[in-house]
Amino acid sequence: MKIGIAGIGGIGSNVARHLAQAGVRQIRIVDHDRVEALNLNRQFYGFSQVGEKKTDSLEKNLKQIFPDMDIEKIDQKIEPGDAGVLFSDCSIVVEGFDNKTLKKMIIEDLSGTNKVVVSASGIAGKNMAAVTTRKMGNCRIVGDFVSDQTDHELFPPKVAMVAAVMAGMVLRHMGKEAPEFKPLSPRRLPHGIYGILGEKFSLGRTNADVARQMVAAGIDVLQYREKLKDKSLKQMLEECLEIREITRDAGVPFIINDHVDIALMVGADGIHQGQDDLPVSHLRRIAPDMMIGCSTHSPDQARKALADGADYIGVGPIFPTQTKEDVCDAVGLEYLEQVVKTHDIPFVAIGGIKRHNLRDVLSRGAKTVCLVTEIIGARDIEKRIREIKQILGEFK
């Protein structure tokens, strides 16, 4: 089985190193750059190789590890449409570029093929605990999905970690021994869009259908929220089993509101509780590895949730909302600002947030935001999430 590597900088050269160490025999490396001294802190090259073609230098270094490795070098800049030809006989292709346009080009060129594409997104910064994996079509992606190197410095240990996880994915698909990767901190709330399901607001679509669309569009967290007056426990369980599969395949954290029994039965990643639900401290006894979130509406409630051991809190409702019954009055942006200034606990800003007021929330320091009807009530969910992500991108 031949492995292709497009781009052999920090990610690509280190993935190749791990594959050589694991005894992978056939690889094809494609790049047109030369070794630079500034990049030696994170790339698999030496000072004596500065100025050499990366393809030549990497071949020498890999042969020092595995002399029998069959390395095919292509010293070429990859243009749109080239990937399908360059990697036509490769079963797995590693995308190792740091340029967003090139990344997108490789993934799009190889989408819909029978090849497995292993890529990275969010490798900058020092937050190694946020690194996780996702599956989108034939592509497996590793990273924190947030930290872009235009806004954060590259941290060599994190680059090396992402490359190691990617190499593990390659080996797994080759049938070689490699354990499944689990995030270092599975109970850490990701930054981005926190989606909530609710058929009442979904324009006649089922929760599972909406979940598929949200996951395909790149939702960062997904919560199931239904009430017993609308659905039986059996119906909820059946829906959650299906949604658990959808989210597991994509590597999206799945959280269930209120029903810890269903969360445990389906293997959800987390449970979210309100102020009148089961206490966080008691839930931790039966769900020690589960992410537990708690809705808060005041500084006192935030302090108590933190003391009780919540992994994250809901901060809101920021604005008036009609999506939740028996909800308290809007707490406004002041409470959000207070949480940002006084607490380190991850939080999701929630309640009445729409595209037109999203910037007001983000400018106060929110990193994870929940827009309910704005997403599940949209005719085109993928377009709506793309619009929201564009606004989020202004504050990275």
Q: Is 281 considered catalytic here?
A: no
167 and 210 part of one domain: no
Residues 6 or more apart in contact with residue 328 via CB below 8 angstroms:
297, 317
- Where residue 178 falls among pLDDT bands split at 50, 70, 90? very low
Question: For 154-174, what is each residue's pLDDT tens digit?
Answer: 999 999 999 999 999 999 888
CB-side neighbour CA atoms (13 Å) of 131: 24
Least confident of 16-20, 82-86, 299-303, 322-326: 322-326
Residue 255's domain spans which residues?
A: 192-393
Q: Residue 326 pLDDT more than 70? A: no
Stretch 269-298: mean pLDDT: 91
Amino acid at the residue 139: C
**Distance of alpha carbon 386 from alpha carbon 344, whole angstroms:** 28
For residue 334, is pLDDT > 80? yes
Query: Of the candidates 116, 144, 174, which is a domain's last residue?
Result: 174
Any domain includes 183? no
Which is catalytic among the residues 2, 225, 284, 389?
225
CB of 252 closer than 8 Å to CB of 134: yes
Residue 162 shares a structural domain with residue 223: no
The 10 Å Cβ neighbour count of residue 166 is 28
Residue 63: φ, ψ to 5°? -65, -25
Asked, for residue 58, whether it belongs to a domain, the answer is: yes
244-250: Cβ within 8 A, 24+ apart: 244/268, 246/208, 246/211, 246/212, 246/215, 247/211, 247/215, 247/222, 249/135, 250/134, 250/135, 250/136, 250/215, 250/216
Q: Are residues 220 and 126 in the same domain?
A: no
Do both 138 and 44 map to the same domain? yes
Q: Does residue 186 form part of some domain?
A: no
Please check whether residue 187 lies inside any domain of the structure. Answer: no
Does 369 fall in a domain?
yes
Domain co-membership, 25 together with 98: yes
User: Is residue 393 exposed (0-12), middle (13-18) or buried (19+ Cβ within 10 Å)?
Assistant: exposed
Q: Same domain for 341 and 196?
A: yes
Q: Which residue in the list 54, 140, 212, 324 is annotated as catalytic?
A: 324
> Average per-residue pLDDT in the chain?
91
Check whether 83 has a pLDDT greater than 60.
yes
Q: Is there a catalytic annotation at residue 225?
A: yes
CATH number at residue 142: 3.40.50.720
Active-site residue identified among 295, 304, 364, 384: 295
Q: Which two tokens stand for residue 116?
A: 């497995």
What is the model's pLDDT at position 250?
Answer: 86
Residue 185 covered by a domain:
no
Give the confidence band of 176 by pLDDT, cuts at 50, 70, 90: low
pLDDT digits (tens, 9 = 90+) for 87-137: 999 999 999 998 888 888 998 999 888 999 999 998 998 888 778 888 888
* pLDDT tens digits along 6-64: 999 999 999 999 999 989 999 999 999 999 999 999 999 999 999 999 999 999 999 99
- Asked whether residue 93 falls in the same domain as residue 137, the answer is yes
Does residue 186 surpass a pLDDT of 70? no
Say which residue the tokens 């190889």 belong to: 110
Whether residue 261 sits in one domain with residue 301: yes
pLDDT: which is higher, 118 or 328: 118
112, 142, 174 — which closes off a domain? 174
**pLDDT (mean) for 139-144:** 90
Please give the average per-residue pLDDT across 308-315, as a whole number: 94
Lowest-pLDDT range of 65-74, 85-94, 246-255: 246-255
Among candidate residues 72, 76, 119, 78, the one with its CA nearest the CA of residue 98? 119
Q: Residue 181 falls within a domain, yes or no?
A: no
Q: Number of structural domains, the chain?
A: 2
Q: Are residues 162 and 109 in the same domain?
A: yes
Asked if 295 is an active-site residue, the reply is yes
Say whether pLDDT at 149 is over 80: no
Would 161 be classed as within a structural domain? yes
Calpha distance 51→75 (Å, rounded): 14
Do 158 and 205 reside in the same domain of the chain? no
Average pLDDT on 196-211 reads 95
Task: Check which CATH number belongs to the domain holding 211 and give it.
Answer: 3.20.20.70
Helix axes 332-342, 355-362, angle to 10 degrees: 30
| 202 and 64 housed in the same domain | no
Where is pLDDT greater, at 325 or 114?
A: 114
What per-residue confidence (pLDDT) applies to 184? 46
How many residues can be counted in the chain? 396
Same domain, 23 and 108: yes
